[in-house]
Structure 1
Amino acid sequence: MPEQQLVTRLTAALECRHPVISAGMGGPARAALAAAISAAGGFGLLGMVREPPALIEREIAALRAATERPFGVNLIPFSTAPQLLEDELAVCFNARVPAMCYFWEVYPALIERTKKAGAMVLYQVGSVDDARLAARAGADIVIVQGIEAGGHVKAKLPLASLLPRVLDAIDIPMAASGGIANGRGLAAALAMGADGVHCGTAFLGATESFAHDYHKQRLIAAQPEDTVLTDLFCINWPPHAPVRVLRNSVVEGAGDKLWGHHPDEMPRIAIGEEEGRPIMKFSTDSPLQSMSGDFEQMALYAGQGVGMERTIRPASAILHDMVTDAVDALRRVQQMVRPA
């Protein structure tokens, strides 16, 4: 463990040692990854977006068997059928999970309902207006996503432009998200006024991630300029929901037509399979350990923090180095402050 601890409003609210939340990436962020992060002192999120309730129940149980530390469950109501969402929420509330994390559109009634169920609410937002709405509705923590983020991206501005605006607009604990994958990024976010960070790409290639090894190998070989923001991968999601992915043959084949795609208008071409379910080209499915098929053509999610990690290693080691390097960076900054 790092010799010194970073104490913020985020660590106090989430009762974790380090101000680092691992993103609830749908698919890759299962019990092994979330538990590893929480056990190492961060705050792990299970990525249970549109998952069957029985799977969510099993993953919660597996996480609790691995660690007694707090954790959360990430859902995306915007992209989930109403009845499935109800069933997912019922499992989470019945299991008394410590926290729920939501993303995309802000639903005040859901925040109120979640709080009444006894869970904290983390809400990931991509604009000042959504941050205000989430805070007014009672969210405990806001995650501010910049356009550098991987996966689905709601933001239109870089994190360095959006975060100060949100800081001026609301006064609840907030985590910075987008392009942060090492200790210098964590230190920079804290220096800008955030209470911590929310990281996806940093942990997507970790040993415990449920991402397929093909995806992990592509991540550790990539650079930030290898990512592209597009709505080309849209099947399974409502329209107008861009994603940041690594360039692949699907992206290159689209040429300059990376925008303006609608999920209902995309051809249905099976390129893989997961337990009897076909994986479609142009879908939002990323390669998982449970899948087979042409992984190169799938959505290879990656934020612009990609390239910081060059090996596949345990999440605890990634977290340890991130916090240690952040402490060192903040010490260097502190030494620059002298009496006038």
Structure 2
Amino acid sequence: MTTNCAMFTAVCELLGCRYPILQAGMGGVARAELVAAVAEAGAFGCLGMVRESPEMIRHQVQQVRTMTDRPFAVNLIPAATDPHLFASELDECLRLCVPTLIYFWDVVPDAIRRAKDAGCNVLHQVGSVEQALLAEQSGADAIIAQGVEAGGHVHGGVSSLVLLPLVVDAVSIPVVGSGGFAGGRSLVASLALGGQGIHCGTAFLATTESFAHDVHKQTVVDADSTDTIHTDAFAINWPPHSPVRVLKSEATTGIGDNLFGHSAADIPRRQIAEEEGRPIYLMSTDSPLKSMTGDLHKLAMYAGQVTGQVNEVATAGEVVERIVSEAEATILRLTSIR
């Protein structure tokens, strides 16, 4: 596979990857096998280690390093993690010399400074221009601008094609588009809007290397772009007012798109699954993983509106190759227009 020079951007140089395609650090789903496969394909992989123990982080980082010598990131969420746990997570990442940290949700300036002082690259995923500016002022190296059509937790209310150029114009550091990006044409669109690449979750969730359960992967493949809802009803395990985008399911019947200020404290605990002895509750933020058993179809089936473009469970390498090939063809077509 060749590399079009238009696709080697400042983000590629910063992160040490061949293509400006960043795999989202999906909690539970993005583990070593997926991250290594993405990195080996020339894109940039990220371990989803939100609220995981230092021991889990150590194990996953070591596993990645046995499968690839390519750089990668760890995703943490300072604002939605117990401060003591976050401090121990960050300490472990720094001890392991993780080259890049990707943060999400509200900007915590001290978390950025600690990582930068230790020599890490820091990217911050945000949902607004205001948070992008704060992340830049706090020392972040790049911004991931997440639109409301993204899957999983969503921190803003503006579509990515509107938010991306607004953030690009507001900050002086590289910006990557997130939400609605799963193909080569959308990569070119990001570049056209001033972005330096794309950040993809749904496309990589439905891969053979993903740690998502097969029921989740197949649900994504079978869904179309009208089958998602944006709601804060999945509230257990996260702070209030934390909306997510999930696929419609038995659990979402009667919910629809709503942001009603659901709080975990108001939701009765009804166990519907388990993971190695840990109870998994209905309306928790847990998504179905390979390690879980029970009524998995009732769990949070995270997916973005781009799910309509995901038509099969492929390997991570095939996903990267498809995006790059389509982007190269799109650039060639555009440059040949007279």
Q: How far apart are 1:255 and its partner, in Å?
A: 6.0
Match of 1:62 in 2: 63
Bigger CA drift: 78-87 or 206-215?
78-87
In 2: Cα distance, 1:169 partner to 1:266 partner: 40
Residue 98 of structure 1 is matched in structure 2 by 99
Deviation, 1:108, is 1.2
How many pairs are equivalent? Answer: 337
Residue deviations 1:298-340, cap 9 Å, x none? Answer: 000000110212111110110011011011112212223x5xx
Separation (CA, whole Å) in 1 of partners of 2:3 and 2:275: 44
Q: Distance in 1 between matches of 2:2 and 2:292?
A: 37
Q: Partners in 1 of 2:158 and 2:130 — Cα distance?
A: 13
The separation in 1 between residues aligned to 2:97 and 2:204, in whole angstroms, is 26
> What residue is the counterpart of 1:8 in the other structure?
9
The answer to whether structure 1 residue 24 and structure 2 residue 25 are counterparts is yes
Question: Residues 335 and 299 from structure 1, CA distance in 2 versus in 1: closer, same or farther, beyond 3 angstroms?
Answer: same
Matched residue type, 1:29: A
- Residue number in structure 1 paired with 2:124: 123
* Cα pair distance change 1:318/1:2, threshold 3 Å: farther
Instruction: Say if 1:11 and 1:256 are closer, same or farther in 2 by CA, change over 3 A.
Output: closer
Map 1:201-280 → 2, pairs under 5 A: 201-254=202-255, 259-280=260-281
- Percent identical pairs in the alignment equals 50
Q: Which letter maps to 2:233?
A: L
CA offsets, 1:110-136, max 9 Å, x none?
111101111100100000011011111
| SS of 2:116 mapped into structure 1 | helix
User: What is the distance in 1 between the residues matched to 2:140 and 2:336?
Assistant: 36
SS in 1 for 2:303: coil
Aligned twin of 2:325:
324
Tell me how large the CA RMSD over aligned residues is.
1.2
Q: What does the per-residue CA deviation read over 1:78-119, in whole Å, with 9 as the maximum and x for residues that have no partner? A: 211111111111110000000000000101111111011111
Partner residue of 1:107?
A: 108
Q: Which runs of 5+ in 1 are unaligned?
A: none
Superposition deviation, residue 4 in structure 1: 3.4
Matches within 5 A, 1:300-319: 300-319=301-320
Give the equivalent residue in structure 2 for 1:189: 190
Native 8 Å contact 1:2 1:320 kept in 2 = no
Contact between 2:25 and 2:47, CA under 8 Å: does it hold in 1? yes
Q: How much does 1:191 deviate?
A: 1.1
> Relative to structure 1, is the Cα distance of residues 93 and 271 closer, same or farther in structure 2, using a 3 angstrom cutoff?
same
**1:267 alignment partner, SS class:** coil
Distance of 2:260 and 2:295 partners within structure 1: 23
Per the alignment, residue 157 of structure 1 pairs with 158
> Equivalents in 2 of 1:307, 1:62: separation in Å?
32
TM-score (norm 2): 0.97
Q: Distance in 2 between matches of 1:162 and 1:256?
A: 21
C-alpha change, 1:191 and 1:251, in structure 2 (3 Å) is same
Asked if structure 2 preserves the Cα contact closer than 8 Å seen for 1:251 and 1:258, the reply is: no
Q: CA deviation at 1:138?
A: 1.0
Give, in angstroms, the shift of residue 258 of structure 1: 6.1
Q: Tell me the TM-score normalised to structure 1 length.
A: 0.97
Distance (Å, rounded) in 1 between the aligned partners of 2:322 and 2:158 = 28
1:253 deviates by 3.8
Alpha-carbon distance in structure 2 between the residues aligned to 1:279 and 1:323: 38
Query: Corresponding residue for 2:79?
Result: 78
In 2, Cα distance between equivalents of 1:166 and 1:74: 21
CA distance in 1, matches of 2:259, 2:126: 24
